[in-house]
Structures are given as C-alpha cells and as structure tokens.
C-alpha cells in the first residue's frame, strides 16, 4: 500500500507558533510495508517504532548473524522478519518505506536498487512524528558538547527538553517522550543528513567543517554538501546558527533561506554571540542591548574550541527564549562527558587524559592545544582517507614522545619525521602504548590519548577505545598503590 499523508500543525490551543512553523507531513504507517537496513541501535529503534505504529517490517543487515552477535539476538526478539547479508537490493522486493541506518552509503549496492518511494534516514522518519520544535546541531567536532550544553540551558530555563541523536539514543527512540511543550535538541551527522527529505529544524546549528569521513563521502566537496543539507528545508521563519570564523560553514549555509545568527571568537556579529572582555556575550535581534551570560573562566572544559561550543549553545538557547542567568548556570554546572578530555588518573605525577572522542585531526589538534605542559601523545586508528600531515606537524611541535596504533600509524609516523618531531614508537595494542608511555613519562607530563582517527580498525567504537585506555591506566595506578 502507498503511504498516505496528513499534516502536523499547532496543538489544539493554537499556542505554538513555533510548532506551526515546523509543521511536516506525517505518513500513516499502519499496514505499510517497511524495510529497515541496519541492526545497530538506530536500526533496532526504527524497527521497534515502525512495529508500534502497525507497519509490516523487514529488518535487514549487510552483515551475517555471527558478525552481528547480540544485535542479531535482539532483532529476533522484535518479532519481525529478519534477513542477513542483504546482497542485491532488488531481491528483497518492493516497500512503501525504507529506513537506512547511518554509515551505509545511499549509493551502495545494498541501497541503490531498493524499490521504495521513501528511502530515508532515521532522523527523517523521526521528524515526521516529532511534535516539538527541532534544534539540530551539526559539525565535524563539538556536536555532543554543544547539544548537551544546549539541553542543559533550556532545562535551566524551565523548558522541557529531550536531547537525542548521535549523542546517545536515536530521536526515533524518544518520540513518546517528546511533549507539545518540549524542545528536541538533536545531534545530527553527515551520514544522517544524506538521508533526509523533509527534515526541517527550527534552529539549525553548524559548528565547523573540517575534512572527515572521506572514505565514506569520497571527497571534501561531498562531505560539505552533506552538511549543507541541514538548511535544505528551512524557511525565513527558521534560524541558522553559524560559525562566522569558518568559511566552509558560511558557504554551506548560503543555500538556505533561514535567518542567520552568527557566533565568533574573533569579531562581534550584528546578531549573534561573541567574546568581549573575557565574557560570553549574546546579542539577538529582539534585545536592545547585548547580554553577558557568563565569564569565559566559568567554562569547566578546557580549550578554545569549547569556548566556541559555548557561544553556539548560548546563541541557540537565547533564540529559544532562555534568559542569561539560565544559560550561565548551565555553563557553570556543566559536567564534561566521559571520553572527551577526560582526566582518568594521576599516576606517579603523570596525568592521563582520555580524548578518544577526538576521531579526526581537527579534534585531536584542539586537544593538543588545550593541554598545558609536556605531552606524551597516543594516536592512530582507522584510515578515513584524510590527510593527517597537519596533525603530525602539530604533534611534532607539542609532543615530547609519540606512540602510534592502528591503520594510520605509519602515515602519522612519516608526517612526524617530515616535521622533525620525536621518533614515534609503533605499538600493536593500546595497552602496549599506555605501558610504554608511562615508562618514558616524567612527573608533570600529560599522557594524552587523542587518536585523530576513528576506532573501527581495532575497537567496537570510540567508547570501547576509551574504556580500554581507562582500564590500562587504572591498572598502572593499582600497581603504584601496591608498591
């Protein structure tokens, strides 16, 4: 059967102009034939939602049952048809809707031949049923920090807010939690944005764009184009919150029609957020004067890049009506997440810092700049087709010793040698890198895990890599306590 559409508008009281601006078409799923490709958390959540709405679901994956492990078991519990090793998409038949999990290119053989009028990502599907204004946060780096900060700011302002997306649970998993008075703060990736059609955030935040995931997108131009899709469906009643210091961000937003609001570390925008006299200042079109929300020194996370993240979150929160005191309180009370410049332990006077979330060169370079004092660097991981020479050059300048792991170890080592840096040690395991770094470290040094690469060559994901680092460091600490 074909999917039929109905319109989502304001609630019965008519009190939500924001909601009216964000009206979207909502398909009726009861009786529709739906395919979900991918048995990760996103795919399982999408399948669960579709089943709850009465759809006839086939849940498929390109991997076999042995590779899927527990995910295959969980898929069986859903009580839907399942299939492994998808192969030729044409062989699965026709569907009314296909939901493709992040990380599987729409151009891949498993997707390109699908017979379905709607082939979308999970955030597209979720947006059809999300009754709250969506604030979407995108960018190469800082999405998780900014999304969390923004959620905290809105909560401090008394707004009921759901924070979802790449940051933790998929938006589709949170649809029932979203209420008419809520905001939905959604961290979105380039993978997800490639699969949107009508996804329309009321506020779209683009933090930065640096080369990443080029193994997936094939070129920087394609990667930038994927990010630009964030603004594709916005209108003049929506907002685009943009990094005025990033030319790629400004170029990506030129295709959009939303009202622009800028944040900058280097200048004062006409409408936006900036740093003045050591304070975070916000100036909106409706305010007579700029508003100071907090001191830069109030930010509990290190690094210039995190000041930019606070600017972006403060600006977006202000556009949603959050007052300065709520924004400032959220900044001062922010609890840094694990795996992001996380101070694991001090062993023998040496500080061990876990920044496994630095999965690209820009994030790892920001981590290097944020750490004061001598650095012993652990880096390397999956090769994403990105030039790591700039990261190697900064590592040569900042690091006293370097230990490398993963597919990119040789490439980073070559870059270090070219830049005249320390002779790196290539290690077979992360545990070996931690052990060797501890042996050369001196009191006052920082051993920094800042991989500059994704984790999938050696680990389940970046969090698995971070946990392994923590475990290795804590084992060192336990030895010190016994000695």
**Domain range 31-116, its CATH number among 3.90.550.10, 3.40.50.720, 3.30.413.10, 3.40.50.300:** 3.40.50.720
CATH number attached to the domain at 124-332: 3.40.1190.10
Interval 175-191: pLDDT, tens: 988 876 689 999 998 88
230-256 per-position pLDDT tens digit: 999 999 999 999 999 999 999 999 989
pLDDT of residue 5: 35
Tell me: pLDDT of 472 over 90.
yes
Tell me the C-alpha distance between 110 and 106, whole Å: 8
pLDDT of 21 over the 70 cut? no
Mean pLDDT, range 112-123, rounded to an integer: 89
Burial class (CB in 10 A: 0-12, 13-18, 19+), 69: exposed
Share of the chain above pLDDT 70, in %: 91
Give, as one character, the DSSP assignment of residue 420. T
Q: What pLDDT does 87 receive?
A: 65
Residue 347 near residue 438 (C-beta atoms within 8 A): yes
pLDDT of res. 218: 60
CA distance 380 to 409: 5
Nearest to 248 by CA among 203, 297, 197, 210: 210
Q: Does residue 1 surpass a pLDDT of 80?
A: no
Q: Is the pLDDT of residue 132 over 80?
A: yes
- Is the per-residue pLDDT at 26 higher than 90? no
User: Which pLDDT score, from 0 to 100, does residue 220 have?
Assistant: 78
The per-residue pLDDT for 20 is 43
In b/e form, how buried is each residue of 95-113, taking b as 16+ CB within 10 angstroms? bbbbbbbbebbeeeebbee
pLDDT for residue 123 is more than 60: yes
DSSP state of 2: P
pLDDT at 207: 95
Domain 342-482: which topology?
A: 3.90.190
Per-residue pLDDT of 143-171, as tens digits, reads 889 999 999 999 999 999 999 987 778 99
Q: What is the mean pLDDT of residues 292-316?
A: 93
- Span 31-67, pLDDT tens digits: 999 999 989 899 999 999 999 999 999 999 888 888 8
**Average pLDDT for residues 12-30, to the nearest whole number?**
53
Cβ-defined contacts of 469-475 (< 8 Å, 24+): 469/344, 469/352, 469/354, 469/356, 469/378, 469/430, 469/434, 470/344, 470/354, 472/430, 472/431, 472/434, 472/435, 473/344, 473/345, 473/347, 473/352, 473/354, 473/434, 473/447, 474/344, 474/345
Which has the closest alpha carbon to 34: 81, 89, 72?
Answer: 81
- Two tokens at 159? 């707004």
**Residue 422: band (very low, low, confident or very high) from pLDDT cuts 50, 70, 90:** very high
Higher pLDDT, 430 or 27: 430
Q: How confident is the model at residue 15 (pLDDT cuts 50, 70, 90)?
A: very low
What per-residue confidence (pLDDT) applies to 215? 57
Instruction: Note the pLDDT of residue 22.
Output: 46
Which helix (H) or strand (E) is 134 found in, with range? Answer: strand 134-138
Asked if 352 and 447 count as a contact pair (C-beta separation under 8 A), the reply is yes
* Average pLDDT of the residues of the chain: 88
Burial of 166: CB neighbours in 10 Å, binned 0-12, 13-18, 19+: buried
Domain ranges in the chain are 31-116, 124-332, 342-482
- More confidently predicted of 8 and 461: 461
pTM exceeds 0.85 for this model: no
CA distance 105 to 419: 36
The CA distance from 280 to 299, in Å, is: 10
Predicted confidence (pLDDT) per residue in 354-368, tens digit: 999 899 888 899 899
Under the banding of pLDDT at 50, 70 and 90, the label for residue 7 is very low
The strand pair at 425-426 and 399-404 is best described as parallel
**Phi, psi values for residue 301, rounded to 5°:** -125, 135
Non-local (6+) Cβ contacts of 90 within 8 A are 113, 114, 115
DSSP, res 218: S
Do 234 and 258 touch, CB atoms closer than 8 A? yes
pLDDT band at 412 (very low <50, low <70, confident <90, very high): very high
Question: Do strands 134-138 and 203-206 pair parallel, antiparallel, or not at all (unpaired)?
Answer: parallel
Quote helix, strand, coil % in the chain, to nearest 5. Answer: 40, 20, 40
Tens digits of residue pLDDT in 75-114: 999 999 999 876 666 667 889 999 998 877 777 777 877 8
Reported as a single tens digit per residue, the pLDDT across 431-466 is 999 999 999 999 999 999 999 999 989 998 889 999
> Percent of the chain having pLDDT more than 90?
64
């Amino acid at each position: 059967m074909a999917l039929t559409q109905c319109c989502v508008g304001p609630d019965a009281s008519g009190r939500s102009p924001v909601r009216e601006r964000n009206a979207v078409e909502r398909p009726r799923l009861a009786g529709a034939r739906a395919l979900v490709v991918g048995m990760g958390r996103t795919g399982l959540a999408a399948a669960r939602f579709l089943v709850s709405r009465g759809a006839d679901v086939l849940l498929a994956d390109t991997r076999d049952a042995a590779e899927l492990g527990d995910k295959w078991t969980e898929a069986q519990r859903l009580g839907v048809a399942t299939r492994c090793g998808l192969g030729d998409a044409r062989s699965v038949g026709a569907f009314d809707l296909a939901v493709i999990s992040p990380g599987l290119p729409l151009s891949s053989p498993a997707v390109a031949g699908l017979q379905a009028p709607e082939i979308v990502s999970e955030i597209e599907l979720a947006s059809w049923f999300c009754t709250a204004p969506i604030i979407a946060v995108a960018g190469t780096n800082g999405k998780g920090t900014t999304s969390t900060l923004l959620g905290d700011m809105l909560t401090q302002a008394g707004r009921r807010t759901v924070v979802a997306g790449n940051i933790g649970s998929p938006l589709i998993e949170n649809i029932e939690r979203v209420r008419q008075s809520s905001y939905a703060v959604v961290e979105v990736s380039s993978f997800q944005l490639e699969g949107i059609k009508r996804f329309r955030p009321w506020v779209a935040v683009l933090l930065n764009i640096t080369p990443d995931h080029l193994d997936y997108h094939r070129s920087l131009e394609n990667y930038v184009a994927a990010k630009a899709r964030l603004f594709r469906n916005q209108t003049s009643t929506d907002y685009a919150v943009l990094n005025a210091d990033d030319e790629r961000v400004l170029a990506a937003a030129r295709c959009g029609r939303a009202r622009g609001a800028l944040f900058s570390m280097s200048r004062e925008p006409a409408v936006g957020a900036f740093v003045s006299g050591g304070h975070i200042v916000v100036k909106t079109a409706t305010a007579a004067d700029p508003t100071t929300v907090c001191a830069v020194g109030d930010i509990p996370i290190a690094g210039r890049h995190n000041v930019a993240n606070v600017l972006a979150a403060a600006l977006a929160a202000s556009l949603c009506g959050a007052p300065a005191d709520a924004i400032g309180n959220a900044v001062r009370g922010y609890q840094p997440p694990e795996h992001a410049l996380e101070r694991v332990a001090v062993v023998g006077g040496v500080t061990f810092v876990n920044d496994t979330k630095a999965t690209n060169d820009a994030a790892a370079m920001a981590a290097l700049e944020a750490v004061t004092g001598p650095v012993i660097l652990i880096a390397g991981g999956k090769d994403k087709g990105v030039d790591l020479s700039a990261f190697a050059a900064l590592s040569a300048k900042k690091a006293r010793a370097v230990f490398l792991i993963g597919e990119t170890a040789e490439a980073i080592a070559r870059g270090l040698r070219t830049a005249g840096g320390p002779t790196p040690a290539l290690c077979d395991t992360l545990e070996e890198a931690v052990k060797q770094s501890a042996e050369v470290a001196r009191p006052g040094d920082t051993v920094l895990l800042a991989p500059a690469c994704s984790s999938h060559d050696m680990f389940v994901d970046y969090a698995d890599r971070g946990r392994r680092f923590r475990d290795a460091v804590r084992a060192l600490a336990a030895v010190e306590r016994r000695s």
